[in-house]
Structure 1
Amino acid sequence: MAGYGPSVSCVTIIRRLGLDFAYTFLGLPLALVSFSLLVSLFAASIGTAVIFVGIPLLALTLLLARGFADLERLRLLQLTGRAAPRPRYAAAPEGAGWFRRITAPIGQGQSWLDLLYAVVNLPIAIITFVLPIVWWAMALGGLTYWFWGKFIPYGDSHDIVTETIMGADTAHNRTLFNTIVGALALLTVYAVQRGSAALQATFAQTLLTRLAVVQGRTQDPVTSPAKVF
């Protein structure tokens, strides 16, 4: 079995990279959708609160934020392989009137944390999306520059970066420089991809699960798409 160690390790690294990449790559479009939808609804609910319509609209906004939060907990399960604890969202008391029932989410702290996550997560999702994409582009682009670089019509222009670092802007130096950049990016892409996924996951866990665990108010974790809503 010892002879299988390197191949198993390589498969594990590739699988880890795939999970991390999928998590950060899909995180940005999901963050854009949740941010634009929830911020718009929240602004509309605040603006119409004085005419009563805004109160049920605010409750709906928080319910949608809960749905997006559950979706993120499901993504955490896929990333880590461990079910993310789900906060216990208390329902309105038995016998409560219709208005109390539909506005129950407004009085729950976790509902506001879910909304806060959707708002603050967008800049984090942008960083964790862009950084790995740039690193992968440098790795793949640099290592294949020997092929596609010859089709770039430089003409009389000079590559200032290559000329400064390599001493002269020649086709050979450009190829060597870009290959070195690609190799360095490839050697560090695992750390960049892992760090990006860890940053986004840690932020999600902090607002969406850990506070509820500390306070002892959790229920069955989200373990399948059927439980998202």
Structure 2
Amino acid sequence: MAGCGNSVARVTIIRRLGLDFAYTFLGLPLAVLSFSLLVTLFTASIGTAVIFVGIPLLALTLLLACGFADLERLRLQRLTGRSAPRPRYVGASEGAGWFRRITAPIRQGQSWLDLLYAVVNLPIAIITFVLPITWWAMALGGLTYWFWGRFIPYGDSHDIVTQTIMGADTDYNRTLFHTIIGLLAFLTIYPVQRGSAALQATFAQTLLIRLAVVQNRTNPPRGALTEPTAATQAKVYEHN
């Protein structure tokens, strides 16, 4: 039973690492794409607002930001295994004119949060991408240095870092030094990868999901079941 439990724990850790790595690895190209597209469109819409063209262009920009936000909510759901509720975007009222309909996204607070997320998320995505990749490179490169290190043509030059830390720049010391670095990186890669994914996910949840949570608490969707309050439970108990 103990062996089975350890095997399940290892599978869970490996699966967790895989989900976290996929989340942070794909996060950077998505952040670059959304940032470059939305910032360009937003800048163009502001510059052309005086000739009216910028107003529908701004609405289109916010609609695209909403699309990227929906994609991020799907990624969060995959990462956490829990639902990532979508805020309710209120459209134009029935019978509203064409101008009011096409500019509905501009009056949505969540649409602006979606756009803000796309802009601010880029530096966070860079950090959460580079840090785990660096750790994985140190772990894999250090632990396999004994194989590929022999092919590096050092010649008469010396590895100053190895010579300073190990006392002498020899093949054995270089292999030992890089192996130690790789082992330390391997032992700490789980918290580094977990922390990177948690940082990016927390930021996404704050801007893209928190409003939905507030909406569901204050105005739950029609037909949704709500938990009974303590007062209600007390009344039912007294009645019984």
Q: Distance in 1 between matches of 2:19 and 2:66?
A: 24
Is residue 87 of structure 2 the alignment partner of residue 87 of structure 1? Answer: yes
Moved over 3 A (4+): 215-220
Question: 1:85–1:219: 8 Å Cα contact kept in structure 2?
Answer: no
State the AA in 1 paired with 2:158: H
- Point out where structure 2 has 5 or more consecutive residues left out of the alignment: 223-240
Alpha carbon RMSD of aligned pairs, Å?
1.3
TM-score (norm 2): 0.89
SS at match of 1:84: coil
Cross-structure match for 1:131: 131
- 1:214 offset after TM fit, Å? 2.6
Q: Distance in 1 between matches of 2:214 and 2:149?
A: 55
- Point out where structure 1 has 5 or more consecutive residues left out of the alignment: 221-229
Q: Distance in 2 between matches of 1:154 and 1:218?
A: 68
Name the larger-Rg structure.
2
Question: 2:87–2:215: 8 Å Cα contact kept in structure 1?
Answer: no
Q: Distance in 1 between matches of 2:215 and 2:124?
A: 26
SS at match of 1:169: coil
Tell me the matched-pair count.
220
The 5 A counterparts of 1:138-157 are 138-157=138-157
SS at match of 2:11: helix
- 1:45 offset after TM fit, Å? 0.3
Question: 2:62–2:111: 8 Å Cα contact kept in structure 1?
Answer: yes
Q: Distance in 1 between matches of 2:61 and 2:134?
A: 35
Q: Distance in 1 between matches of 2:79 and 2:61?
A: 27
Identity across matched positions, percent: 85
Q: Deviations over 1:60-91 (max 9, x none)?
A: 00000000000000000000000101100001
State the AA in 2 paired with 1:54: G
TM-score (norm 1): 0.93
Cross-structure match for 1:227: none
- 1:215 offset after TM fit, Å? 4.5
Cross-structure match for 1:226: none
Q: Deviations over 1:89-148 (max 9, x none)?
A: 001011000110010010111000000000000000000000000000000000000000
The 5 A counterparts of 1:67-106 are 67-106=67-106
Q: Deviations over 1:179-224 (max 9, x none)?
A: 000000000000100000000000000000113313546769xxxx
SS at match of 2:85: strand
Question: 2:142–2:183: 8 Å Cα contact kept in structure 1?
Answer: yes
Cross-structure match for 1:110: 110
The 5 A counterparts of 1:170-181 are 170-181=170-181
Cross-structure match for 2:11: 11
Cross-structure match for 1:194: 194
State the AA in 2 paired with 1:68: F
